[in-house]
Chains A and B, each alone.
Chain A
Amino acid sequence: MKTVQIFVDGRPIEAEEGATVAAAMWNAGCVRFRTSVTGEPRGPLCAMGICFECRVTIDGTAHRRACMETCAPGMKVQTGG
């Protein structure tokens, strides 16, 4: 099985080729994807691009839905935004 390496908050994570960023993060044990307006930790709810709870910053662009992005080599993901 081919793998791809991405970075989540600086931590390297191996993901299966073709996996979404959300899947890679879940497999690596990440639970907090973003912070809500009142400070709650949030993670994916619908996993199909509708709820926007899985938003992370990818390669400098904010508000990207992790469940809709496929892992690309060297991708830099930042959570908690």
Chain B
Amino acid sequence: MAESVSATIIVVGAGPAGIAAATRAAEAGANVVVLDEAPSPGGQIWKHRRSAQAPRAAQKWIARFTKSGARLIRGAQVIAAGEAGRELRAELSDSPGKMLDLRCEKLILATGARERFLPFPGWTLPNVIGVGAAQALIKAGVSFRGRRVAVAGSGPLLLPAAAALAAGGAQVALVAEQAPGEAVARFAAGLVFQPAKIAQAVLYRGRFFNANYRTGLWVASARGDDRVREAVFTDGRRARTVACDVLCCGYGLVPNLELPMLLGCAIEKGFVAVDERQQTSVPTVSAAGELTGIGGVDRALVEGEIAGLSAAGKSEVAGRLRARRARLELFAARLAKSFALREELKSLARPDTIVCRCEDVVLSRLDPSWQRRQAKLYSRAGMGPCQGKVCGPALEFLFGWESDSVRVPLRPTPLSGWALPGPEDGASPNERADSR
């Protein structure tokens, strides 16, 4: 039997944006419930196993959130939604198949972002992981002590990942940023407006002064047997082979758009479109954080605050945060520009390189003249359990194929979660979703 929960405002995601939104809304007197898939709040960026390990900003916000009166439901993954976001179904991870039905008047989406993976020869070898993945594994209890690690891809997340690895005793052989040196230098110079970030950058570099941080360099291929043994790097002219036990390679972040798309929120340039109150094209749904643009923790926090305050009817207070958000919007724009992915990354995959890992679909099976859904139906790319979350951003980068639709469940879920006792007659359907 599905348990039922009602609230005035439901927030999906307890990362920085979700925590800020829920805190502000609850402090303003609203009845707030927050859903998050993890056992403890913080999302990806503030993930921690013991609260003492979390960054200070995280500890402050989480403490404030705990006092705010908002209710956190842990281990809850939204798998379906309807009625313009006023009805949600979530699966509880502590008992697979156990469902929670939720009702609200307003929904705030703060589902964050995930890594963008691009295919290259050898990327499916075991021990080739993402950049955020390295940090996630460290936080999950992996010891990298004594392992030789290469870090590659794009974006400022390469630095903290490499630092965490080095701090854990890994031998960081190389950190390769695909963006050209000038672009990265310009980005670093722009950070003068955000002093805290410069200090961070200097600190990181100091931590692994034995390693090399190189720009204009990217992974051409990975090689190995039962796992990766070496990676070949290139700058477009010369190749360099680096022996490694682990290769961390991720090309920035992409927003988790599945739930906003299911609800019919307008997507513009790959992000959820919102107005100055963080409201989406669906009046009962707001969005905050990486969903509206990749911009890091500070931007996610201020957007969350605005969304929470606006949803709780405190638009005036929200208005005072606009200047801060505008500044952080500039940071997000600079981020996107500096770390734009170069064209050469589109030619890394060879005809026999797997593009969809769930279904082992190789590049040569895909016709660039197809549309996204057509490619899925003809080649099965995107039909596996990851539901296109890994190959989708890669196919968009390689072929320009945008994700045009989303299906329930939003995450694979046991059928027992649907075989629930209920009324015999059909009731009114919810919105969205086309046929396969």
Interface residues of A (CB under 8 A from B): 15-16, 18-20, 22-24, 26-27, 31-33, 36-38, 40-53, 55, 61, 63, 67-68, 70
Contacts and interface: CB of A to CB of B under 8 A. Distances in A.
Contacts of A40: 124, 354, 360
Contacts of B267: none
Given A31-B127, A32-B126, A46-B132, A52 B140 contact: no
30 contacts: A19-B140, A20-B141, A23-B140, A23-B142, A26-B137, A26-B142, A31-B127, A32-B126, A32-B226, A37-B358, A38-B360, A40-B354, A41-B126, A42-B124, A42-B126, A43-B127, A45-B130, A45-B390, A46-B115, A46-B117, A46-B129, A47-B129, A47-B133, A47-B134, A47-B136, A48-B44, A48-B132, A50-B114, A50-B389, A63-B385
The 6 tightest CB contacts between A and B, nearest first, are A19-B141, A43-B126, A23-B141, A47-B133, A47-B136, A31-B126
B136 A27 contact: no
B290 interface: no
A49 to B, nearest CB: 7
**Is chain A's binding surface mostly helix, strand, loop or mixed?**
loop
Given A46-B390, A50-B114, A37 B360 contact: yes
B357 A36 contact: yes
Contacts of A52: 358, 384-386, 412
A40 B222 CA distance: 15
Contacts of B324: none
Contacts of B143: 27
Given A36-B360, A41-B226, A47 B137 contact: yes
Interface in B364-416: 384-386, 389-390, 412
Contacts of B226: 31-32, 41
Given A42-B357, A44-B129, 12 more contacts: A22-B137, A27-B141, A31-B226, A31-B227, A42-B124, A43-B129, A47-B132, A47-B137, A48-B132, A50-B386, A50-B389, A51-B117
A37 B96 CA distance: 25
B359 interface: yes
Interface of B: 37, 39, 44, 49, 93, 96, 114-115, 117, 124, 126-130, 132-134, 136-137, 140-143, 226-227, 354, 357-360, 384-386, 389-390, 412
Contacts of A36: 124, 354, 357, 360
B140 A67 contact: yes
A36 B130 CA distance: 19
Contacts of A19: 140-141
A27 B168 CA distance: 13
Contacts of B129: 43-47
B353 to A, nearest CB: 12
Nearest to A40: B124
Contacts of B49: 18
Contacts of A22: 137, 140, 142
Contacts of A33: 126
Name the residue in A18, A26, A33, A45 with the highest tally of chain B Cβ atoms < 10 Å from its Cβ.
A45
A73 to B, nearest CB: 16
B114 to A, nearest CB: 5
Contacts of B412: 52, 63
A39 B324 CA distance: 52
Contacts of A20: 140-141
Contacts of A46: 114-115, 117, 129-130, 132-133, 136, 390
A51 B357 CA distance: 9
Contacts of B93: 68
A33 B227 CA distance: 11
Given A27-B142, A42-B126, A49 B37 contact: yes
B141 A45 contact: no
Contacts of B227: 31, 41, 43
A43 B359 CA distance: 15
A24 B137 CA distance: 10
Nearest to A38: B360
A46 B256 CA distance: 14
B390 A51 contact: yes
Contacts of A27: 141-143
A78 to B, nearest CB: 17
Given A32-B126, A40-B360, A48-B114, A15 B44 contact: no
A44 B133 contact: yes
A24 B140 CA distance: 9
Nearest to A18: B49
B386 A44 contact: no
Name the residue in B44, B141, B360 with the highest tally of chain A Cβ atoms < 10 Å from its Cβ.
B141
A16 B140 CA distance: 10
